[in-house]
């Protein structure tokens, strides 16, 4: 079995694979730094809760966009699992060619998503990740990661509404019954959800237009992505496990 760990700006998502079979998935917050023992004990206890013995873990693969947690997390993995984890970074084998102006600027999460989308769905493909930020990454038929767009995520946009205004309340992010809102909460939900659907459709349309790839496949992932994917025909596939699958694929390429 292998343990795959995706360290995002909001959550750390952990999965356990046996070959290509996902045996378990769990999450923890990434809002503050823990000690190596805290990481190790948490990971072991969560595995045991899912009926998996920590001693069954043969290797660990980590993707991270939060550098501050990496020393303790790596140390915890080494201390409690007795393996040196594979970390997604420049030089690792992915099967994806980074042909942007500065490949080192591309986040590990975007590389992992690109690997998964290209391996599972083929190219050309546009990967849309609705995370803390929303990213749109274009991978061509030959596996070239050639362009990327970054916009504020849905939660960032929602937080700006209630934190930067005096009277607007904190709300649940969901599609309201109608865009013709009749109260404050529904009006905020309508602006967020329908506005984000509009942004998503426009960016996808412009990518297809400027790339000339009219039949470009669009694969989406990320927490709130299903809200958007369910409301637009611009997204072909929604795969909420895309990142974990990408880490498993990268492990197979580097084992």
CB-CB neighbours of 79 under 10 Å: 13
Show the tokens assigned to 238.
């929604």
Distance (Å, rounded) from C-alpha 32 to C-alpha 164?
24
| Active-site pick, 6, 21, 109, 239 | 109
DSSP 241: T
DSSP 99: -
Evaluate whether 250 touches 115 at the Cβ level (below 8 Å): yes
Q: Respond yes or no: is residue 109 known to be catalytic.
A: yes
Strands (E), the chain: 2-7, 11-18, 21-29, 59-64, 86-87, 97-98, 125-130, 133-139, 144-152, 217-221, 237-238
Instruction: Provide the annotated active-site residues.
Output: 109
């Amino acid at each position: 079995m292998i343990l795959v760990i995706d360290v995002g700006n909001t959550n750390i998502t952990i999965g356990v694979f046996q070959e290509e079979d996902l045996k378990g998935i769990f999450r923890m917050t990434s809002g503050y730094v823990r000690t190596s023992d805290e990481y190790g004990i948490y990971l072991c206890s969560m595995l045991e809760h899912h009926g998996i013995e920590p001693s069954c873990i043969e290797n660990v693969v980590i993707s991270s966009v939060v550098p501050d947690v990496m020393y303790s997390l790596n140390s915890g993995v080494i201390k409690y699992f007795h393996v040196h984890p594979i970390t997604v970074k420049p030089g690792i084998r992915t099967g994806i060619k980074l042909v942007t102006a500065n490949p080192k600027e591309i986040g590990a999460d975007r590389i992992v998503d690109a690997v998964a989308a290209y391996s599972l769905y083929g190219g050309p493909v546009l990967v849309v990740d609705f995370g803390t930020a929303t990213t749109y990454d274009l991978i061509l038929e030959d596996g070239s990661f050639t362009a990327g767009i970054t916009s504020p995520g849905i939660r960032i946009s929602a937080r700006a509404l209630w934190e930067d205004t005096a009277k607007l309340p904190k709300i649940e992010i969901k599609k309201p019954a109608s865009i013709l809102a009749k109260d404050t909460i529904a009006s905020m939900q309508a602006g967020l959800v329908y506005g984000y659907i509009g942004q998503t459709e426009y960016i996808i349309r412009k990518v297809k237009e400027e790339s000339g790839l009219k039949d470009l496949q669009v694969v989406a992932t990320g927490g709130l992505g299903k809200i958007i994917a369910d409301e637009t025909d611009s997204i072909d596939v929604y795969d909420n496990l895309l990142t974990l699958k990408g880490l498993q694929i990268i492990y197979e390429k580097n084992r």
